[in-house]
Amino acid sequence: MLQPYLLIGEIVRPQGIRGEVKVRHYTDDPARFQELESVLIQTGGQYERIVIAGCRVQKDDVFLVLKGVSDRNAAEKWRGVKLYIDRSNARILNEDQVFIADILGAEAYDRAGNLIGTLKEVLTPGGADVFVFDTLRGVLMVPALKTVLLELDAEGGKIVMDETRLSEVALYEDSDSHAVSRDVSKRILKQHSGPSPDGGPAGCGTD
């Protein structure tokens, strides 16, 4: 289902004493923040627009100054706040890409129409994205390769996967812990990183 607002980052902590905050970005290009005049935050089920008074990017780190936040004490109150943009400000995706927010919750099927599970998370640790599904057998982790993910239908909330390739590259978790997720995703990336003879990643846009 297409979402009207897209998650672009999360404030992790204050930076310095003048109200600046460090942001964990969820975008392929952190310089993307320098193009934004404002972001949205969610309060009470509604979205409120917050003006960006300053932005700097150092390598992969993003730092923002938000209007009205002028010291460290004020910045501390923003710790953990998620930042969104509306769809009109989203970047244009390639034809074979979808936004993560749009595909979460989609049901996955094999080519015969058998239900595999529901997409609950997309990990982006570098290289190919890793799709995480809730299934009857447990948590299933799948590298986002075009030969595995045959169809990503964000509007219809449906994913079609090649069951043969799936059995070759997917891994099940032993538990549903975040630490295990990261460990398994690293093993998947180690197996499937670099130029892929499978036709490359079936990527998601994070904005």
pLDDT along the chain (207 residues), means of 10: 86 96 88 94 92 94 96 96 90 82 93 97 78 95 93 94 94 60 47 36 53
Find the CATH number of the domain harbouring 27: 2.40.30.60
| Distance (Å, whole) CA 183 – CA 66 | 35
**pLDDT of 126:** 63
3-state DSSP assignment of residue 161: strand
Q: What is the value of pTM for the model shown? A: 0.67
User: How many domains, the chain?
Assistant: 2
Alpha helix stretches (DSSP H) within the chain: 72-76, 100-103, 163-169, 178-192
The pLDDT of residue 22 is 97
Let me know: does 192 contact 130? Beta carbons within 8 Å: no
What's the pLDDT score for residue 107? 97
What pLDDT sits at residue 88? Answer: 83
Q: Does residue 112 share a domain with residue 82? A: no
- 47 and 68 part of one domain: yes
Is the same domain home to 102 and 201? yes
Q: Quick check: 128 and 143 in contact, CB under 8 A?
A: yes
pLDDT for 62 = 96
Residue 178's pLDDT is: 45
Residues 64, 111, single domain; the answer is no
One-letter amino acid at 170 equals A
In terms of residue numbers, what domain contains 48?
5-89
- DSSP category for residue 92: P
